[in-house]
Copies of this chain bind each other. A is one copy, B any other.
Amino acid sequence: MVRGRICGLSVRDVRFPTSLGGHGSDAMHTDPNYSAAYVILETDAGDGLKGYGITFTLGRGTEVVVCAVNALAHHVLSKDLRDIVGDFRGFYRQLTSDGQLRWIGPEKGAVHLATAAVLNAVWDLWAKQEGKDPRTLLSCIDFRYITDVLTEEEAFEILQKGQVGKKEREEQMLMHGYPAYTTSCAWLGYSDDTLKQLCTEALKDGWTRFKVKVGADLQDDIRRCRLIRDMIGPEKILMMDANQRWDVPEAVEWMSKLAEFKPLWIEEPTSPDDILGHATISKALVPLGIGVATGEQCHNRVIFKQLLQVKALQFLQIDSCRLGSVNENLSVLLMAKKFEIPVCPHAGGVGLCELVQHLIIFDFISVSASLKNRMCEYVDHLHEHFRYPVIIKKASYMPPKDAGYSTEMKTDSVQKHQYPDGDVWKKLLAAQGN
């Protein structure tokens, strides 16, 4: 039973100084401090349940997203949760189409990240209260701007078909989990020695799919890719990630030189806005056995729609915190199914693994019904700050069993890492001041 009026919304700027160890570094983001704008919703229901929502950021700029969350707060406060989820499509549109605020988006940038954080909290709260059927899920999707490729009726048919064999797939997930790949071994800022050591450990832990960051220097890339391919052998899967470093012709040229290392995909070869550019790159690289993957910085369903329309990608990477929460991610999962493109979510960051596991396991059970060419990113850090961290067994995500969206952080972690006044930052900033 849905219950309660939203009587409190708080948002905090939580940052982890990951740049100190080179974790998360790539060709475009050399010193990220993995961070989050962290939203907590409270209700007057008296049941003690809260809704926790995050969106992921890289450090500087988190305060801008926090500011954007506060700009959205008036749409949420004093609302009855029943009214919100009873017309979730309408509520989604209220947030994304606020007649003044949409100018600073629309549906992109800081305000869309803030929308994700707020709605992730709503989903967390709602999920703790009750289950959802296909019609309810569809009623959460804003089909504006995508009806030319997916209507509500088509979406319903996909979900109806997804009911067949659902029980077996649920059991399969409970038994074996959802296959994952690791990005933790080969950040661009790691030395070759660190890379070797981490690779050895990952192989020992049963990992069979590895991603390496590339794009800053070709000779470095060749050396690092050779090193990893030699370590993992010819059978295991290798992916590459350029984090938008290249122009279109450059991407094709560069990847032609890395083709010998047999990457399954090249991720983010160029601007996330360049739909036609990705199509050109795909066309050139698919004959070399290399697919194109993108999505972690694709800002909304309209961009994904077009990437699918022009066959610009072979692997689609949703992000639980950049798209407008479950609502918009559902629309992308359904479009991907229609175009028969496998979804391989972006994860890592702060809490992205915790959130996206729900989406991708749902995708397998109720939408795609397939594991072919599918896997979910995994990065082995910052999980200790979450109250319900992901569980990885034999390189697979085991389905979460607690109600909610796994978004709650530990109170102590939040306090210590709050920027700039948590203990961790007070010390670091004082040290920088010296």
Contacts and interface: CB of A to CB of B under 8 A. Distances in A.
Interface of A: 28-33, 56-61, 63-65, 67-68, 71, 97-113, 144-148, 244, 247-250, 270-277, 280, 297, 299-300, 302-303, 305-306, 309-310
B65 A71 contact: no
A432 to B, nearest CB: 13
A59 B247 contact: no
Contacts of A112: 109
Nearest to A144: B247
A274 B100 CA distance: 21
B273 A302 contact: yes
Contacts of A100: 29, 31-33, 57-61
A111 B109 contact: yes
Contacts of A33: 100
A63 B71 contact: yes
Contact of A98 (B60, B113, B247, B274): B60
A106 B297 contact: yes
A101 B276 contact: no
A58 B63 CA distance: 21
B145 A271 contact: yes
B106 A303 contact: no
Given A28-B97, A28-B102, A145-B273, 17 more contacts: A29-B102, A30-B99, A58-B99, A58-B100, A59-B100, A61-B71, A61-B101, A61-B104, A61-B111, A65-B104, A104-B109, A106-B297, A109-B109, A109-B111, A145-B248, A145-B271, A147-B247
B109 A275 contact: no
Contact of A63 (B31, B61, B67, B275): B67
Ranked nearest first, the 10 interchain pairs of A and B with the lowest CB-CB distance are: A109-B109, A59-B100, A60-B100, A110-B110, A148-B248, A58-B103, A273-B302, A67-B67, A58-B100, A61-B101
A32 B59 CA distance: 32
B29 A103 contact: yes
Contacts of A71: 60-61, 63-64
A106 B29 contact: no
Contact of A29 (B60, B99, B111): B99
A303 B103 contact: no
Given A100-B60, A148-B247, A306 B30 contact: no
Contacts of A64: 64, 67-68, 71, 104, 110-111
A294 B33 CA distance: 37
A326 to B, nearest CB: 21
A306 B31 CA distance: 31
A145 B303 CA distance: 17
6 contacts: A61-B71, A61-B104, A64-B71, A103-B297, A108-B273, A271-B302
Contacts of A106: 244, 271-272, 297
Nearest to A62: B104
A78 to B, nearest CB: 16
A27 B153 CA distance: 27
Contact of A110 (B104, B249, B272): B104
Which of A105, A148, A277, A305 has the most chain B CB atoms inside 10 A of its CB? A148
Which of A32, A100, A147 has the most chain B CB atoms inside 10 A of its CB? A100
A299 B108 contact: yes
B68 A110 contact: yes
A109 B67 CA distance: 14
